[in-house]
């Protein structure tokens, strides 16, 4: 499936590959991601597979391929994202050498950032309206993300992905007094407000990371848990795009994980910050994908059963 | 000195003076930072000063004061920054509860991010022009920051601050092949291009951190060095605002350091990303100050001699 | 106070030092630690004090002095510790170039590792006896440490030190199933067993770090809390010497903190492991001091009031 | 291959298992490690394999089994290690509930700690003899480890494992002056002394981590490199057992990697510290194996080709 092209290569027929082939070739020679864990050749399985696998994996993570600095066509799918209306064409042109194939990496986990009640307060109304009473709400943006995020969760669970959540640490003795995750004034530490929304209720087998800073990785054992489970990639959703999502995505990338951000499942109080931050991350640290693409990929993993 | 007001309170008269008076009061009752290290009361010096100091310090770092959610006046100095022309007033209003006093924290060090030759390539010309030959150059933005950054360095050195630099790790065996700091395509790893600009040449007593990711703290001993030297605050300059500067500033904040970003001494290939990222960081992790303010503060430290 | 000598220099008279000197000189010219925060000369307070302070501090942390590789005298106080009966003289000789002055560093916090009920189970009996029913108990060693640890806590609180505890994270969703802090089999995760002993009950202003690995720093925000409070040194007590205490002490040292281990307030199920680990740490990462020395130092801080 | 038993199960015949099974069953039903990456059933490969794999992996890492607190038989292979002559039987009994199966984990990398010239100085002579001139030498212990370590390297390279080294950072501006990895006095920072021994010379594709603290993970991107390459386990060798090897092994374990320590390929200036530290780590963080076992395992990986 060519996530860059996103042109419905659902046809990717199983062709060739040796014997019990698990490779999922497609018409497009650039396609790479689909079921990477299954593409190991028997000769790799038997023998010095580590180095080979390492190479494949490094390639997958970094996608440096050739530097594609062509003129950007108006319908370049790499830039077909929500930031189109705020990032001028000439700025996008400045980032043309970041262009590359994108996708979901191997052995993924779902990491849901801060889907807690606090940001849904006041309901699906414009932020300027709700924030007078609920200064931390993301209002309509939070509510608009519920439906796509439910789809994402369903697909992730169906594909058997490990699921991690983050939320604020509200325990009375978890930190020195007066310490908070960002510089915002006057956030009440209220346990119920940091409970995960019922739509995404954690299951007993899930892990809920509590944190005292923006990143779900900072001052938490999240990376250790992922490593211990053999996770190599994270699919990130949640809020806020310009705060905890960005801090978490940058850390995940730095830590060596492949990072996918699901555009429709991330939100922020400010659409401008949402868009510019997704733009930044897409070019530097993560593959921003549409929820349709990610769900289709996860269904693909499952469908191979 | 009221950094929020920035109204030239250079007059902040020394009342008290040495002896037992170490506070530096000013006309503005909100002023706090100036010479924080010297404000310890004798009763604190003798006796249970730790807890007191901790409280003072936590207060300084987090500035929780009251939540100031007043209507934003047109000349609110807290928002008097370069982002004014891209962040609409109604968006700024959404962040009103982040408003607070700002300044340089106690025991600062200067941290200069990635002031290497690579981003000055092609000279002081528009980025779209230079990037055809030098895809990583920040062109005129890099060059415009040289003069203010020289002022900043001079003031920091005169005040005796420890100085840290970061640059890319170009050693051939420092990382697995195909691994880079961001997802950009085709960055040549050339040792000379990662040398610090002569204008900011490190001195023998400075530390140069080499890194393989965006943040100067990630995978480096920078935080340990700062802690070992008793540093509690960082003054950050360099590039790019939306990349390594942001990643470093967020990490510094998470690690418990007070963070000051010097607006005129940070730069990016894209003015929009520069502005939105400064805006994000100012509200969540750092105090964005003008170079005049920071230099004045550092001169104040020195002038007390 | 010469912690190396430990010869009761309680007399350390206030002599000279410039002007309003706060230096606490002693008869022994090597003495350095006592009240380091107060030794800054007025000329440092005014002016380029940062670099000076950094130098002083680095010196304090690393104790470089000269390399003292003299023959070890039978009563060398540097080696006058519990390991004397298990480390042969010829082995101690191998470590002679680690010898140096020791003490409590500047701006200390108390860090109490894993003083939870689990290790006191079965009472003050020999470990082989209690472990049949309580496989994680440290028996008599745990109980023997209660009295000195109470003294340490009392002195630390009287001196106003910030106090941090660690304990196991027992929350049901805090980690993937089957993950433990060490490789020990069959540890029941029981909330009450991970409660801090009543003798050391945390106060509301204290911080209790919950962890999933051996080190109190790993996967926790402890270092960030310490940095935010301006802490530069840690005084460590608790258990087990060869497990969580060692892992925490090594991390604290790596992070740039000065580390003091209080010999009588650390314990282990195995005296041999206790002794060899204290020996290792004393020579490589920390200053192992007797509780008398540490209490005296803390009383000194307080007595200056 | 039953590493616990170590009873030459070299016969482990390839017997069925489902479909194109690559499982390597043995006579001993407890055997598990061998070629774990290849045991995924087709039903796992197709479908919700992630959760399954996560479970398998967590199980592998944490040595689940039941708690085996039987009386220790005199020939218990779990304790058949170099520490037998220094750890009394009654102490070993205290650790009986740590007993479990051991082995090499999945997707391993070789991590060679500090195999630099400094510790070989003076030749294969007793430490007390060489240390008068070369205070950092491990003398005969260093030299005795050369042959087994060459075997380990050969097997690791033949099996295609990624190879990582650590050494001290000798660059003049890599850290504040007077900062060292441990508290030892008077270590000259000499570039040639921190070069890797010719017997283990790094190849161009290897990574050499330079560090300023004991652990190869602290303040370095080592964990990120391993994650990026898909490594899940580390095989550790080098020196010193009680210093950098231990600090690195504890960190690796905390970070979620399975850790194997190769007994004959680790060394220390002091045999007592060597033995007690291996004992500590074997029970808490790592599987201490004999070089024969590890080489046989690596040959097994290779032989499957």
Burial class of residue A187, CB neighbours in 10 A (0-12, 13-18, 19+): middle
CA distances (Å), D201 to each of B273, C102, D116, D207, in order?
45, 39, 10, 11
CA distances (Å), B133 to each of A227, B243, D112, in order?
41, 21, 42
Catalytic site residue D14? no
- The minimal CB distance from D285 to the residues C87, C127, C183 is found for C183
Mean per-residue pLDDT for A187-193? 74
CB contact under 8 A, B94 and A127: yes
| pLDDT > 80? residue C33 | no
Q: What is the pLDDT of residue C54?
A: 38
> Using a CB-CB distance cutoff of 8 angstroms, which residues of chain A are in contact with residue D163?
none
- D297 — phi, psi (to 5°)? -60, -45
B70 CB within 8 Å of a chain A CB:
no
CB contact under 8 A, B58 and C229: yes
Q: How confident is the model at residue B129 (pLDDT cuts 50, 70, 90)?
A: very high
The beta strands (E) that lie in B121-232 are given as 163-168, 207-211
- The minimal CB distance from A255 to the residues D160, D227, D232 is found for D227
Determine the residue among A280, A287, A289 to mutate to test chain B binding: the one whose Cβ has the most chain B Cβ atoms within 10 Å: A280
The beta strands (E) that lie in B80-162 are given as 108-113
Is the CB of residue A222 less than 8 Å from the CB of residue A209? yes
Tens of pLDDT, residue by residue over A42-97, are 222 222 333 333 333 333 333 222 233 444 555 678 999 999 999 999 899 899 88
Spatial distance between the Cα atoms of A259 and D75, rounded to a whole number of angstroms: 49
Tens of pLDDT, residue by residue over A115-166, are 999 999 999 999 999 988 999 999 999 999 999 999 999 999 999 999 999 9
Burial class of residue B251, CB neighbours in 10 A (0-12, 13-18, 19+): buried
Tens of pLDDT, residue by residue over B244-292, are 999 999 999 999 999 999 999 999 999 999 999 999 999 999 999 999 9
Q: Is A179 left (phi over 0), alpha (psi -120 to 50) or beta?
A: beta
CB contact under 8 A, C256 and B162: no
What is the DSSP annotation of C247-270?
Answer: HHHHHHHHTT-EEEEEEEEEE-S-
pLDDT top residue among B202 and B36:
B202
Q: Is C233 helix (H, G, I), strand (E, B) or coil?
A: strand
A180 CB within 8 Å of a chain B CB:
yes
Q: What is the pLDDT of residue B177?
A: 76
Spatial distance between the Cα atoms of A156 and A159, rounded to a whole number of angstroms: 5
Q: Count of B–C CB contacts within 8 Å?
A: 129
CB contact under 8 A, D51 and A230: no
CA–chain centroid gap for D31, Å, is: 20
Spatial distance between the Cα atoms of B134 and B138, rounded to a whole number of angstroms: 9
- The minimal CB distance from A202 to the residues C173, C175, C213 is found for C173
The beta strands (E) that lie in chain D are given as 108-113, 163-168, 207-211, 233-239, 258-267, 287-289
- A72 — phi, psi (to 5°)? -80, 125
Is the CB of residue B60 less than 8 Å from the CB of residue B106? yes
Is the CB of residue C210 less than 8 Å from the CB of residue C165? no
Catalytic pick from A12, A138, A237, A244? A244
Q: How confident is the model at residue D305 (pLDDT cuts 50, 70, 90)?
A: low
Report the chain B residue with the minimal C-alpha distance to residue C108: B50
Return the half-sphere exposure (C-beta side, CA atoms, 13 A cut-off) of residue C245: 30
Q: Nearest-CA distance from B163 to chain D in Å?
A: 10
Q: How confident is the model at residue B39 (pLDDT cuts 50, 70, 90)?
A: very low
Q: Count of A–D CB contacts within 8 Å?
A: 129
DSSP 8-state assignment for residue D209: E
Spatial distance between the Cα atoms of A79 and A67, rounded to a whole number of angstroms: 16
The beta strands (E) that lie in B207-294 are given as 207-211, 233-239, 258-267, 287-289
Q: Nearest-CA distance from B290 to chain C in Å?
A: 22
> Using a CB-CB distance cutoff of 8 angstroms, which residues of chain C are in contact with residue B107?
50, 53, 230
Counting as contact any 3 or more CB pairs under 8 A, the partners of A are: B, C, D
Report A:35-64 residues touching D (Cβ under 8 A).
37-38, 43, 45-54, 57-58, 61
Counting as contact any 3 or more CB pairs under 8 A, the partners of D are: A, B, C
> Using a CB-CB distance cutoff of 8 angstroms, which residues of chain C are in contact with residue D177?
58
C270 CB within 8 Å of a chain D CB:
yes
A213 CB within 8 Å of a chain C CB:
yes
CB contact under 8 A, A224 and C221: no
- The minimal CB distance from B173 to the residues D207, D219, D228 is found for D207
ipTM: 0.82
- The minimal CB distance from D67 to the residues C62, C66, C185 is found for C185
> Using a CB-CB distance cutoff of 8 angstroms, which residues of chain B are in contact with residue C47?
160, 301-302, 304-305
List Cβ neighbours of A139 (8 Å cut-off, separation of 6 or more): A122, A123, A124, A125, A126, A127, A129, A130, A131, A269
- The minimal CB distance from D227 to the residues A46, A47, A256 is found for A256
CA distances (Å), A250 to each of A14, A164, A259, B243, in order?
35, 17, 9, 10
> Using a CB-CB distance cutoff of 8 angstroms, which residues of chain B are in contact with residue A253?
213
List Cβ neighbours of B212 (8 Å cut-off, separation of 6 or more): B168, B169, B174, B175, B179, B180, B181, B219, D221, D224
Provide the residue count of chain C. 305
Catalytic pick from C12, C14, C138, C244? C244
**CA dihedral of residues B236, B237, B239, B241 (deg, nearest 10):** 60
Q: Which domains does chain D have, with CATH numbers?
A: 1-65 (no CATH), 108-303 (3.40.50.850)
B221 CB within 8 Å of a chain D CB:
yes
Spatial distance between the Cα atoms of A219 and A156, rounded to a whole number of angstroms: 26
Determine the residue among D60, D229, D233 to mutate to test chain A binding: the one whose Cβ has the most chain A Cβ atoms within 10 Å: D229
Spatial distance between the Cα atoms of C253 and C281, rounded to a whole number of angstroms: 10
Q: Nearest-CA distance from A175 to chain C in Å?
A: 5
> Using a CB-CB distance cutoff of 8 angstroms, which residues of chain C are in contact with residue A112?
none
CB contact under 8 A, D219 and B218: no
Q: Nearest-CA distance from B244 to chain A in Å?
A: 10
**By C-alpha distance, which of A179, A136, C225, A190 is closest to B63?**
A179
Is the CB of residue C174 less than 8 Å from the CB of residue A207? yes
Q: Nearest-CA distance from C51 to chain B in Å?
A: 5
CB contact under 8 A, C219 and A218: no
**CA dihedral of residues D30, D33, D35, D37 (deg, nearest 10):** 110
Helix axes C271-284, D271-284, angle to 10 degrees: 110
Q: What is the pLDDT of residue D190?
A: 81
Q: What is the pLDDT of residue C9?
A: 23
Spatial distance between the Cα atoms of D11 and C289, rounded to a whole number of angstroms: 55
Which residues of B are designated catalytic?
A: 244
Tens of pLDDT, residue by residue over D94-144, are 898 888 999 999 999 999 999 999 999 999 999 999 988 999 999 999 999
CB contact under 8 A, B175 and D221: yes
What is the DSSP annotation of D194-206?
Answer: GSBPGGGPPPTTS
Q: What is the pLDDT of residue C181?
A: 53
Q: How confident is the model at residue D158 (pLDDT cuts 50, 70, 90)?
A: very high
Q: What is the pLDDT of residue A288?
A: 98
> Residues of B183-213 as b/e, b for ≥16 C-beta within 10 angstroms?
bbbebeeeeebbbbeeebebeeebbbbbbbb
CA–chain centroid gap for A238, Å, is: 9
**By C-alpha distance, which of C183, C204, C222, C198 is closest to C120?**
C198
Q: What is the pLDDT of residue D182?
A: 60
Q: B251-260, C106-115, C295-304, D188-197: which range is least confident on average?
A: D188-197
């Amino acid at each position: 499936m060519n996530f860059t092209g996103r042109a419905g290569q659902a046809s990717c027929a199983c062709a060739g590959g040796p014997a019990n082939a698990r490779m999922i070739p497609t018409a497009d020679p650039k396609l790479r991601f689909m079921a990477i864990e299954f593409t190991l050749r028997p000769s790799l399985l038997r023998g010095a597979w580590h180095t080979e696998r390492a190479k494949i994996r490094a390639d997958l993570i970094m996608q440096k391929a050739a530097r594609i600095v062509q003129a950007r066509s108006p319908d370049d799918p790499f830039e077909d994202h929500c930031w189109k209306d705020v990032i001028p064409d000439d700025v996008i042109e400045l980032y043309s050498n970041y262009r590359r194939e994108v996708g979901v990496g191997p052995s993924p986990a779902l990491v849901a950032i801060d889907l807690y009640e606090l940001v849904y307060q006041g309901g699906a109304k414009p932020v300027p309206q709700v924030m007078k009473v609920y200064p931390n709400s993301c209002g309509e943006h939070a509510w608009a993300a519920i439906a796509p995020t439910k789809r994402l969760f369903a697909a992730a669970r169906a594909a058997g992905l490990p699921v991690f959540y983050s939320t604020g640490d509200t325990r009375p003795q978890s930190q020195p007094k007066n310490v908070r995750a960002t510089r915002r004034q006057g956030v009440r530490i209220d346990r119920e407000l940091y409970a995960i929304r019922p739509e995404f209720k954690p299951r007993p087998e899930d892990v809920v990371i509590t944190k005292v800073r923006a990143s779900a990785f900072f001052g938490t054992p999240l990376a250790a848990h992922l490593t211990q489970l053999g996770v190599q990639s994270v699919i990130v959703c949640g809020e806020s795009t310009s705060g905890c999502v960005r801090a978490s995505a940058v850390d995940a990338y730095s830590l060596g994980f492949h990072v996918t951000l699901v555009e429709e499942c991330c939100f922020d109080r400010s659409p401008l910050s949402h868009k510019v931050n997704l733009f930044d991350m897409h070019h530097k640290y993560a593959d921003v994908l549409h929820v349709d693409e990610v769900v289709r990929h996860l269904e693909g993993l499952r469908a191979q059963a």
